[in-house]
Amino acid sequence: MVPVAILGSTGSIGRQALEVVQELRPRFGVAGLAVGSNLELLAQQVRKFHPSVVSVGSPELVEPLQQRIDKRKLEILWGTDGLLQLATLPEAEIVINGLVGAVGLAPTLAALRAGKRVGLANKESLVIGGHLVAQALEEGHGKLLPIDSEHSSIFQLVEGHKKEEVQRIIITASGGALRDRPLAELANVTPEEVLKHPNWQMGKRITVDSATLVNKGFEVIEAHWLFGLGYDRTCALLHPQSIVHGMVELADGTITASLSPPDMHLPIQYALTYPERLGNGFPKLELIGLQLDFADIDPERYPAFEMVIEGGRIGGTMPAAVNGADEVLVERFLRGEIPFPSIWEGLRQVLQAHQVVPDPSLEEIMAADRWGREFVERWRV
Ligand code: MG
């Protein structure tokens, strides 16, 4: 049995990771789980998967969790320390990082330094701290497996090719919930409309980020760090069906593509079983009648896309400031405080106002994240 630790086990990725573990039993098992505050679901997961250690967001949650679980020998940790202990758990061979936001970076670094295989769904780790992740990989001889459908696809497609054989990599974007809305209506869309993603079931922030294409901008930065190609060779295209997740154009002009149903179970499974392939009961793709469309990303509809990539090109602490600001802008939009286009208006101002620290430390990155949040929290539309 390969023991797995899952950070963020009650979130969208965490729940699906447990479904994959369940599907592949007894090959994989659960060594540890870390959550924020959803004790009810954590208690159910503990009863079903029997981890030996869990971590909760804060010390006040320890006692209420104990009351929900009869088994007293479960070790319960809490806070940032608990999260880092879970990320480096000696008995875990694989760490799935399904945390949302900048908080996911430190556990990614800790797990890689400890030589773990990390299934990385926390894209912020690479977006805000790509250079630190690269260092941690080198130091600990760990292995990084992307759990993002696009990056998992590209990872599979570039295997066996030398870097100079890869002309460019192309990730796809569904275009989100508002891709067909007249531009003039974008100022009046409601959170409910934005949260109805046409193809994917995901957490709230990433669903809004899919409608602005902030998510796709982050994914270009993520791909840049994962595959080591310049921004001019790391591209994105609109593909409304979300069937082709990634493509690689090789030096001779051949384009290889990876196709599968829009289902995160597959990239999660591949991160667990790599380099092996195992059968499963997840939905399979029906090729007959399949229609695949591709289009350029319209900068008028998605102004945030280029802004986020610009943040990546600037580098240093800029992506952290942009990411922190976006998290707050999305929350403010969901609370009805700002209209939808203010998300990119806010990001535009962050790009102008942030004082970049080049080659930042973890502390400097987290400070830039706080700066970005505070900058747009105070911001009046
Ligand atoms: Mg993705």
Q: How far is the CA of 271 from the centre of ligand 1 (A)?
A: 15
Q: How far is the CA of 129 from the centre of ligand 1 (A)?
A: 18
Q: How far is the CA of 213 from the centre of ligand 1 (A)?
A: 11
Contacts 24+ apart (CB under 8 A), 84-87: 84/110, 85/53, 85/55, 86/5, 86/7, 86/32, 86/33, 86/34, 86/53, 86/54, 86/55, 87/5, 87/7, 87/111, 87/114, 87/116
Q: How far is the CA of 231 from the centre of ligand 1 (A)?
A: 17
CA distance 133 to 113: 9
Mean pLDDT of 368-381: 92
pLDDT of residue 183: 96
Which of 219, 269, 197 lies closest to 20 in space, CA to CA? 269
Mean pLDDT of 243-266: 97
Q: Are 135 and 236 in contact (CB under 8 A)?
A: no
Q: How far is the CA of 27 from the centre of ligand 1 (A)?
A: 27
Q: Are 118 and 106 in contact (CB under 8 A)?
A: no
Please tell me the number of Cα atoms within 13 Å of 47 on its side-chain side. Answer: 11
Q: How far is the CA of 61 from the centre of ligand 1 (A)?
A: 32
Q: How far is the CA of 151 from the centre of ligand 1 (A)?
A: 7
Q: How far is the CA of 332 from the centre of ligand 1 (A)?
A: 23
Please tell me the number of Cα atoms within 13 Å of 250 on its side-chain side. Answer: 12
Q: How far is the CA of 222 from the centre of ligand 1 (A)?
A: 10
* Six token digits for residue 28: 């994989």
What are the pLDDT digits (tens) for 258-309? 999 999 999 999 999 999 999 999 999 999 999 999 999 999 999 999 999 9
What are the pLDDT digits (tens) for 149-160? 999 999 999 999
Q: How far is the CA of 111 from the centre of ligand 1 (A)?
A: 22
Which of 224, 211, 266 lies closest to 243 in space, CA to CA? 266
Q: Give φ, ψ of 162 to 5 degrees.
A: -75, 150
Q: Are 268 and 96 in contact (CB under 8 A)?
A: yes
pLDDT of residue 234: 97
Q: How far is the CA of 136 from the centre of ligand 1 (A)?
A: 23
Cis peptide bond prior to 90, omega within 30° of 0? no
Q: How far is the CA of 353 from the centre of ligand 1 (A)?
A: 28
pLDDT of residue 70: 75
Q: How far is the CA of 242 from the centre of ligand 1 (A)?
A: 10
Q: How far is the CA of 363 from the centre of ligand 1 (A)?
A: 27
Q: Which residue has the tokens 């008028």?
A: 300
Alpha carbon distances (Å) from 14 to 9, 107, 137, 248: 4, 15, 23, 29
What are the pLDDT digits (tens) for 164-189? 999 999 999 999 999 999 999 999 99
Q: How far is the CA of 186 from the centre of ligand 1 (A)?
A: 23
CA distance 193 to 175: 14
Which of 87, 85, 89, 110 lies closest to 97 in space, CA to CA? 87
Residues 135, 141, 144: CA angle, nearest 5 degrees: 75
Which residues are CB-neighbours of 104 under 8 A, at least 6 positions away?
7, 8, 97, 122, 124, 125
Q: How far is the CA of 150 from the centre of ligand 1 (A)?
A: 5
Q: How far is the CA of 245 from the centre of ligand 1 (A)?
A: 8
- pLDDT at residue 71 above 90? no
Which residues are CB-neighbours of 68 under 8 A, at least 6 positions away?
39, 40, 43
pLDDT of residue 142: 96
Mean pLDDT of 356-369: 98
